Structure 1
C-alpha cells in the first residue's frame, strides 16, 4: 500500500440538453484530493468551494467513497487524512458530488495498489451517485454516453471537437439535484420522448462529425428544462441572450442552476449577455470560460 496520493478530478456537465441521465462532458475546472493513511483516525480539511458547509466527518462524500472501496476489496478502513482543494462550486450542476465520489474511489484505489479496474471504479461510482451521467466523464474525461443495463455500466467516450469551448454562468444560489428532480413529471408524452430521442441522436452525431452548426437544434429539450425553469429565475432570458450573442447552444448544466453555453471560442459577448440577463432577473452570478477536458481523473 502507498502512504499518500493526490488526484485531480474535473467538473462535469450532464444532459447537454436532451441527453437526460445518459450524456455528460468533463470540463476544465478541477478539484484536488490529497489522501494519506492515518491509522485509527479521520481527518478532513477543506479549502476553497464548500469550505464552510462540507462535512468533515464520516458523512463526507470522499470519505464514504473511500470506505466503499475498502469494503469492496475486503479491507477495513485503515484511517485516513484527507485534504480537499475544491474549485468546483457545490450544488450548482457542475458535478461536485460526482467529483468527490470519483476522486475518493480513485485515491483509495491508488493507496491500496490499484486493486480495482477502471470499469469497477465506474460501477462503484454509479452505485454511489445513482446514475452515471456525471461520474463517467469525471472518471474518463471527454464526452461520455453511458447506459446501465442489468447492473453493468456500458459507455462510449467521444473526444469533443478541438474548436468547441464552453462558457458557464454560475448563479450564487444552490439547487439540489433532489429538488430539481421533484418537479419532473412521472410520465412524459410520446411526442416529447420522440423530441428528445431525435435530438440526442443528432447531438452525438454532430459532435462526432464536428458539425457545430447543428448544435442549436440538437441541444433542445422537452423532458426536464421546461419543468426546472421556474427554479432558476431568468433562465429563459439568459438562454435567449446567449443565443443572440452567438452561442452554438445554451442549456442547463445538469440539474442547474448553472447555465452552460457551447461556443466556437468567441466568448466575450456571450459571457456578458449571460451575466447581464441574470442580473436583470435579480440573480448575481459568476461567469467562467472553460474548455472541455479530454482527460478525466488523474494521479498527480
Structure 2
C-alpha cells in the first residue's frame, strides 16, 4: 500500500455450529466490522463506538497482533499503522466478533505488506487461528459455509444460492466460548457419533434442496452441543417452543451462545421478530440476512475519505 492511501476492510459477522453442524457449518451475517487503516509512524487503533473502547489502542490490540503474526509468517514486518474501527457485531455473544477481527487482521497485513495472499491462504490462516473454519470461512467467503479442518489442510465450500431470513435474539449477558465448551463431553461412543453425523448430513441436504421444514427438524435433533448447553442458555428452550408458532422453521444456538437464531422463510422476519419481542422484552431482537459477499477490501486515496470523529 502506498503513502497517501487508506485500506477499507469490511468483514461480516457470522454464526457457527449451525444446528448439528458443530465446528463445521456457518453462515455469514449482514453485521459488519469495518477497519479503515493507513500507514503511520506508530500503531494506533481508534474506536468509533463506546463498546470497542475497552480494547487496547496500541500495538497490543488483537487485530494488530494478528496482522503482525501474519506478516511475520511470510518474512515481513508490519509497518506502523493508524486505524479506525467500528463494528455492528455484538461482542462475546456468539456472532463471530473474534473471527471477524482475525480476518480483518490478516487482510490488514496483506494490504500493508503487499503479501498478495490467496483466498486459500487467508482461509487457512484464519481457520487455524480461530480453531475451526465455520466462523472464519463465513466471514471471509460469505454465504453458507461447510468446512473441515485437519492437521494437513482446511477444506471449505461456500454456497451462495441459499436465501432465508434470520432473527437473532441477543441477551445482555455475555458467555465466553471457553465456559460454553467446558460443558461438552470429552468423548462419545461410535454409535452416538454416527447418529449425530447423520442428523447433520440430513440438515445440509435439506437446506440445499429448500426443504426448510426438514432442516428445522434436524436442527432441533442436534446431539453435538444443544443438549449440553441448554442449562447455560435457558432462553434457548423457551424460543424453541415458541418459534414454530411465530413462523420460524428452525432454531439454533449461535456459536457457543448466548445468542440464539431463528430461521424463517424470506419475508417472515417481521412477524417472527415481533412475536419474539413480546416473548423476550429484555433481549435485543435483530432481523438479519445472509451476507453473500464475504470480506471486502478497498484501497482509497485519503483525499477521498471524510474521516469520522472519534468517541
How far off its partner does 1:80 sit?
A: 1.2
Which of the residues 275, 291, 294 maps onto 1:293?
Answer: 291
Matched, 1:72 2:73: yes
Match in the other structure for 1:197 = 197
TM-score (norm. length: structure 1): 0.92
- Counterpart-to-counterpart distance in 1, 2:56 and 2:152: 30
Equivalent residue, structure 2, for 1:215: 215
Residues 198 and 49 of structure 1: is their aligned pair in 2 closer, same or farther, counting only changes over 3 Å?
farther
**Unaligned runs of at least 5 residues, structure 2:** 299-311
CA RMSD of aligned residues (A): 1.7
Contact 2:78 2:112 in 1 (8 A): no
CA apart distance, 1:276: 3.6
* Equivalent residue runs for 1:12-51 within 5 Å: 12-39=14-41, 41-48=42-49, 50-51=51-52
SS at match of 2:132: coil
Paired residue secondary structure (2:98): helix
Residue in structure 2 matched with residue 122 of structure 1 by the alignment: 123
Deviation, structure 1 residue 190: 4.1
Structure 1 residues 186, 206: closer, same or farther in 2, change over 3 A? same
Q: Judge conservation of contact 1:49–1:86 (CA < 8 Å) in 2.
A: no
Q: 1:160 to 1:240 in 2, by over 3 A?
A: farther
3-state SS, counterpart of residue 21 of structure 2: coil
For the 8 Å contact 1:73–1:115, the answer to whether it is kept is no
Q: 3-state DSSP class of the match of 1:50?
A: helix
Query: In 2 relative to 1, CA 59–189 (structure 1 residues): closer, same or farther, beyond 3 Å?
Result: farther
Partners of 1:146 and 1:138 in 2: CA distance = 13
Residue 239 of structure 1: aligned partner: 240
Contact 1:61 1:97 survives alignment (8 Å): no
- Normalising by the residue count of structure 2, what TM-score does the alignment of the two structures yield? 0.89
Give the 5 Å matches for 1:99-118. 99-118=100-119
How far has the Cα of 1:150 moved from its partner? 2.9
Contact persistence 1:34–1:82 (CA under 8 A): yes
Distance in 2 (alpha carbons) for counterparts of 1:59 and 1:169: 32
Contact kept, 8 Å, 1:49 with 1:87, in 2: the verdict is no
**Equivalents in 1 of 2:124, 2:50: separation in Å?**
27
Q: Which deviates the most, 89-98 or 180-189?
A: 180-189
Paired residues for 1:159-178 under 5 Å = 159-162=160-163, 164-178=164-178
**Runs of at least 4 residues off by over 3 Å:** 189-192, 275-279
The answer to whether the Cα contact below 8 Å between 2:139 and 2:295 also exists between their aligned partners in 1 is yes
CA contact (8 A) 1:229 1:236 kept: yes
Paired position in structure 2 for 1:81 = 82
Do the aligned partners of 1:138 and 1:297 also contact (CA within 8 Å) in 2?
yes
- 1:194 alignment partner, SS class: helix
1:14-63 deviations in whole A, cap 9, x for unaligned? 01110100111101111101121113x11011123732422323332211
User: For 1:166-219, what per-residue CA distance to the aligned partner results, in whole angstroms no more than 9, with x for missing partners?
Assistant: 111111111111111011111134454233211211121122222223222121
For the structure 1 residues 233 and 47, does the alpha-carbon distance in structure 2 shift closer, same or farther, using more than 3 Å as the test?
farther
Does the CA contact (< 8 Å) of 1:160 and 1:292 recur in 2? no
Does the Cα contact within 8 Å between 1:31 and 1:84 map onto a contact in 2?
yes
Q: Determine the C-alpha separation between the residues in 2 that align with 1:57 and 1:37.
A: 14
Relative distance call for 1:72 and 1:2 in structure 2 (3 A) is farther
Distance 1:59 1:292, change over 3 A: same
Contact 2:143 2:291 (C-alpha < 8 Å) held by counterparts: yes
